[in-house]
Amino acid sequence: MQSEKEKMLAGELYDASDPELVADREAARALTQWYNDTDPDQHERREALLGELFGTVGENVAVEPPVRCDYGYNVHVDDGFYANFDCVFLDVCRIDVGRNCLLGPGVHVYTATHPLDAAARIEGPEYGKAVEVGDDVWIGGRAVLNPGVTVGDRAVVASGAVVTNDVPDDVVVQGNPATVVKELD
């Protein structure tokens, strides 16, 4: 029989009130609090805390506090990742971010979602869908990536965009829902 954590990681319906998951979220809250309380010159402490919090951290990674996440261990960022202030990662499933990606202030990445059927939703189970961001992507401030989306290489997600569908390589998307407004050379 699968644990609730195994179900969550597999993108299946799971019970978020499971004690193991509650403990994992509390550990992530503690790590983010410690990270968010660091001084700007505490580079080594930030690097160590981010290494504990995130599942994978590449080289030359910078995350401006405050940052928030559900579990942390499902966030995987490659070399050259930068996240500006107030980013949120609801990481019940994997969030994979490629090389040289830039997140503006207040970017939210959601993998967590709930059943559409009201009766099922009221019962409390939830599930997730992984999010993938390619290499060399720029995501503007206050943009939202919804569960299950993939953002292609070298794409630009404009400020305030709400990404509800996959974004191809080499395009600019904007709006709610985000649509392609320009192809890049």
Q: Could you give the domains of the chain? A: 4-183 (2.160.10.10)
**C-beta pairs of 116-121 under 8 Å, 24+ apart in sequence:** none
CA distance 171 to 63: 25
Q: What is the DSSP letter of 92?
A: S
CA torsion 44-153-133-85 (nearest 10°) is: 50
Q: What 8-state DSSP symbol labels residue 70?
A: S
pLDDT band with cut points at 50, 70 and 90 for residue 163: very high
Confidence of residue 56 (pLDDT cuts 50, 70, 90): very high
The mean pLDDT of the chain is 98
**What's residue 182's pLDDT?**
98
Q: Report the catalytic residues.
A: 114
- Tens digit of pLDDT for each residue in 97-136? 999 999 999 999 999 999 999 999 999 999 999 999 999 9
87 confidence band (pLDDT: 50, 70, 90): very high
* Structural contact between residues 153 and 137, judged by C-beta atoms closer than 8 angstroms: yes
pLDDT given for residue 165 in this prediction: 98
pLDDT level of residue 54 (50, 70, 90 thresholds) = very high
- Please give the pLDDT value at position 41: 96
- In the structure, what pLDDT confidence band is assigned to residue 148 with cuts at 50, 70 and 90? very high
Q: What is the mean pLDDT of residues 146-167?
A: 98
Element at 19 (helix H, strand E): helix 19-36
Average pLDDT over residues 33-39: 98
